[in-house]
Amino acid sequence: MPRSALASPARLHSRPGFPPQLKQGSRKLIDAAKTFRENEILLTGANGFLGKIILGLLLDRYPDLRHVHLLIRPRRGRSAEERFEADILQSPAMQPLLDKYGAERIRQKVTVWPGDAAEIDDAGRQAAQWKNRVSLILNCAGLVEFFPPVDESLRANVDSVERLAALAEAIDARLLHVSTCYVAGRADGVVEETEPIAGFYPRRTGPADESFDAAAELQSCRERIAEIAARDNAAPRSRQTAEALIELGRQRAQRWGWVNTYTYGKSLGEQMLVREAARSGLEYAIVRPAIVESSLQFPFPGWIEGGRTAAPLVLMALGGLKEWPMRRDIALEVVPVDQVAAATLAVAALLLEGQHARDAAPVYQLATADQNPFELEDLVTLLDAEAGKQSSNGGTRPPLWLDPLRRLRFLSAAQVVEHRRKLQRRLDAARGVAETIAASRLPGNRAAARWSAALRTLGLQASFRGQTLDQYLPFILENRYIFETHNIRQAYELLSDADREKLPWSPEKIDWRRYWIENQIGGIRKWVQPEAVREWKFSL
């Protein structure tokens, strides 16, 4: 993937594909309120973390919007309407909106449709009803899991994109697809928005390298999935089959240079979208957020749900983890969820008005390190200081015998391996002593048995912690990503002052120390950390 220094404003105005008013330096502003008032939107993934904030922000900032249709998949014995009620309306994230407008007002603006994006019928009854109404499909659906069974990843992150592209063509709508910056795969340096999507794979040597074809890769992968599935006649499928499909996804991603099955699937989804658009003339844009984390302001500071990407790292740091496999100079590309939602709605308005970037790859990367980096050394030092405050205030104190010095250390890949070996030797030696005493009739043998069990638990925790950290190595040790964000800044030049106030995109103004302490740590402690995890001692 080409890398370059960040472009100057002068270069931005000369980049191909931007609307004429940008090239000429004038500002023909759009009125997003008018745009949303005149166009109906079909939103997928509204019950997810980002989708919920997009829906809430749209309803809050543009209460006179025309209408929003939500495609929600019935699941686990609950209908689409029941999931809308439980997952969206009853979410703490929607409470400020309910207090402001009331549930009835929201329901007047929203229609819930049962359906699965991966199975949506572009010639079915819903498509016929949407044809004369929906102008934009905003796809936030997807499976955000690093290493799921590969068939599940392809279904959520590829099949759904293909089906929604076909639907958009059938109902004469435009498509805004939410992907991820990390489709870049293994990279070190600036990741440009202008990198062609079709035929891309992270190990590509240049424009002449035509080694990768997304359709052929999908066919090959699906053939292997069918072979694995054919060995298993059980329903539900066996654990062995699931593990084989997880390993298949890992292998396919690694072969081409993606860091996990998730980014492999998301890139394939983008490429199939580009393929379909080239065939049909579909108007589309792709939003690529980096790591979406707790809110800056909307619906309130620190809102987060689920085990978001950084949550395990924060919990391990607060639990006393001192040995970090990471590069000090890497800036973790974290973006508050409400900033991502605001930028996505800004792009939606431009796409509806035909003012979106029209490059070969109309991509909007939403990241922070190119404008306001916060490097891992500063972040981990901050988290370590917060862990120290927690211990001094009566919180869990890590067992000092594991590392008498208990100093913060940044480890290379080789040091990680050696550190784990030493730790395992200590645990094995201690357990050996404890088990010997426990098996004897010496005084204290019962206490030694309890000690042995506790050491076994510590060993399991160490193994779990190591496996968790390994999933983050591409982001904190192996690759230094800086995602350029020229297109979204250009997009905001086309918004009125009022719309920029309603849909703020201002990563350069974020006070990272305050954000991590108040929004991230505070939000994770309140909304993510269950009682069982509070007592979990990430202290090895």
With a cut of 60, say whether residue 403 has pLDDT above it.
no
CATH number, domain with residue 203: 3.40.50.720
* Domain encompassing residue 172: 11-314+333-375+482-511
Within a domain: 47: yes
User: Could you tell me which residue, 12 or 512, shows the higher pLDDT?
Assistant: 512
Residue labelled with tokens 């040597």:
205
439 band by pLDDT with thresholds 50, 70 and 90: confident
With a cut of 60, say whether residue 375 has pLDDT above it.
yes
Predicted pLDDT of residue 231: 87
With a cut of 50, say whether residue 94 has pLDDT above it.
yes
Predicted pLDDT of residue 460: 78
**Number of domains the chain is built from:** 1
Within a domain: 250: yes
Within a domain: 401: no
Within a domain: 168: yes
Distance CA 185, CA 179 (A): 13
Half-sphere exposure of 440 (CA within 13 A, CB side): 12
Angstrom CA distances, 302 to 52, 92, 209, 366, stand at 15, 12, 44, 19
For 19-23, 170-174, 487-491, 492-496, which range has the lowest pLDDT when averaged over its residues? 19-23
End-to-end C-alpha distance for the chain, whole angstroms: 38
pTM: 0.90
Within a domain: 129: yes
Within a domain: 468: no
**pLDDT tens-digit series, residues 193-248:** 999 999 999 999 888 999 999 999 999 999 999 999 998 776 678 999 999 999 99
Percentage of the chain modeled with pLDDT above 70: 88
Average pLDDT of span 295-301: 98
The mean pLDDT of the chain is 88
Predicted pLDDT of residue 356: 82
Predicted pLDDT of residue 535: 38
Q: Give the distance, in angstroms, between the CA of residue 273 and the centroid of all CA atoms in the same chain.
A: 19
Average pLDDT of span 373-377: 97
